[in-house]
Structure 1
Amino acid sequence: MGSPSASKWNLESEWLVPPQQARSRKSMEAVLNAAEELFTSHGYDNTSIADIGARSGVSTGSIYSRFPDKDAILQVIHDSFSKALTDASADAFSPETWRTASAAHIVMAMVDRFFFAYRTYPGILCLIERQRLVNPAVEERARKWNNLSIAKFQALLADHASEMSCADTDRAVTVVHYLLHQTLAMTALFEQEQAAPPFRLDDNRFERDMMEVALRYFGLPDDTTGWRRHPWQRLPGW
């Protein structure tokens, strides 16, 4: 987890009572930092408001004055992470940034972006994957993010149809997106549970294999030998 940062949390989220004073803001950030650490290390169900209060140094009464329940804390954490992802994607996937890139380069970047995310934020992403199965608000927010990510790559590949042999580029982006999402999510969950996944997130050959699969599905030549890892930027505070 990154060091606490004022820019990390969305304190304008609908899921909390926004702080009006600097002291209240600091306390709320301490609660959110403690909750994120506990949710990702011990699990959401195994964490209580009392645990969060003890870790953050904020009384349970003060926590309840800002958050109606533990679920609201989870929603603010996910809301803040999603907002940070959206803000970062606006720059990372701007059309101008990829104007001279080939279709193969864009597809490999799509794969590389997934690996970067799961290697950098495995805790929060595993928390989201677990909670979206049982929490409608988390599922809706995650689905919106996935749709946004798909739309960005569809837009980047829109002018490269002549380079690919697949008949439906938009559908191909959706298929590859969810293939990567499900494969890496399951790998991260297995690693978090200290199980034995067939591949590991830090395995560069695994990433190259997924790039080859994606390139072939799009009908693009295997150009992984010329790939150089993209310099993705970490999310501020995460």
Structure 2
Amino acid sequence: MAQQTSNKSYRPAKQSRGRRTEEKFLKTAEEAFRNNGFAKARVADIIKLSGCSTGSFYHRFSDKRDLFDVMLLQMSEATKSELLDQDLSRTTHGSVQNLLAHYAEEAFAKVNDRRGFYRAAYEISAQDPTVWDRLKDLSILIGGKFAKVAEDYADEIPASNKTEALQHAVQIIITMAIHTSLGSGPLLPEDRTELRKVVIKAALGVLV
């Protein structure tokens, strides 16, 4: 069941034109949050850059927090949908290292595409911890998906609790993808390829 946004005034678009307008606002908000952060992003600028009218914005959203909540809802639903189709089998990946490397590639790419969202989420969570709690819930769902295939890679996971170890490895990747996108970890490589290599090594390390 889809979670509701915090603001009851949100009106989901039903017609194709309305959906296109909504997507313009969401895309522009992602850019605004990425460049300026949530606090400094202005609704007037989001409206202007979207090319849509002020009336169209306030027909769907009450303010930029309402807009963010829709972004959070859509991101949550997209993640759940992606998990249903995600193939983590050993038949596909061959080894646990390949599995984690593949997941790291996906995780870093998705976080980079949503960097504005994560920057906003980080700011908002300082006042409203429930935002980060919802992201934690998504991490738990992802970990649950990996838990189902832990035995497939059992011979490559020395740890006694193989399921827990694989979940820890996945959490390292998720955490590093998000926080390095926000500028944390200044001693880590700036090059994204080299950064992923370091993160994969760290993830593999907890399997021992």
Q: TM-score scaled by structure 2?
A: 0.78
Measured after TM superposition, the shift of residue 104 of structure 1 is 3.5
Q: Is the 8 A contact 2:108 2:177 kept in 1?
A: yes
In 2, Cα distance between the equivalents of 1:24 and 1:120?
A: 23
Q: Is the 8 A contact 1:166 1:172 kept in 2?
A: yes
Measured after TM superposition, the shift of residue 77 of structure 1 is 1.3
- Counterpart of 2:200 (choices 191, 211, 227) is 211
In 2, Cα distance between the equivalents of 1:178 and 1:47?
A: 30
In 2, Cα distance between the equivalents of 1:70 and 1:142?
A: 19
Q: What secondary structure does 1:39 align onto? A: helix
The corresponding residue for 2:187 is 198
Q: Is the 8 A contact 1:115 1:201 kept in 2?
A: no
The corresponding residue for 2:137 is 144
The corresponding residue for 1:184 is 177
Mind listing any 5+ residue stretches in structure 1 that lack a counterpart?
Answer: 1-11, 220-238
Q: Is the 8 A contact 1:40 1:124 kept in 2?
A: yes
The corresponding residue for 1:167 is 160
Structure with greater helix share of residues: 2
The one-letter amino acid of 1:30's match is K
Measured after TM superposition, the shift of residue 188 of structure 1 is 1.7
Q: How do 1:84-95 residues align onto structure 2 when only pairs under 5 Å count?
A: 84-93=78-87, 95=89
In 2, Cα distance between the equivalents of 1:120 and 1:50?
A: 23
- Counterpart of 1:60 (choices 54, 58, 61) is 54
Count of aligned pairs:
203
Q: Is the 8 A contact 2:93 2:99 kept in 1?
A: no
Deviations 1:153-202 (A, max 9, x none): 121223332332101122223332333333333322127xxxx8222453
In 1, Cα distance between the equivalents of 2:15 and 2:196?
A: 46
- Counterpart of 1:29 (choices 12, 23, 48) is 23
**1:165 to 1:136, Cα distance in 2 relative to 1, 3 A:** same
The answer to whether residue 107 in structure 2 is matched with residue 114 in structure 1 is: yes
The one-letter amino acid of 2:77's match is K
Measured after TM superposition, the shift of residue 68 of structure 1 is 2.7
**1:69 to 1:106, Cα distance in 2 relative to 1, 3 A:** same
Q: TM-score scaled by structure 1?
A: 0.70
Measured after TM superposition, the shift of residue 23 of structure 1 is 3.6
The one-letter amino acid of 2:19's match is R
Percent identity of paired positions between Structure 1 and Structure 2: 24
Measured after TM superposition, the shift of residue 75 of structure 1 is 1.0
Measured after TM superposition, the shift of residue 152 of structure 1 is 1.3
RMSD: 3.0
- Counterpart of 2:74 (choices 80, 88, 95) is 80
| Higher RCO (CA-CA < 8 Å; seq separation 6+) | 1
Q: Is the 8 A contact 1:106 1:157 kept in 2?
A: no
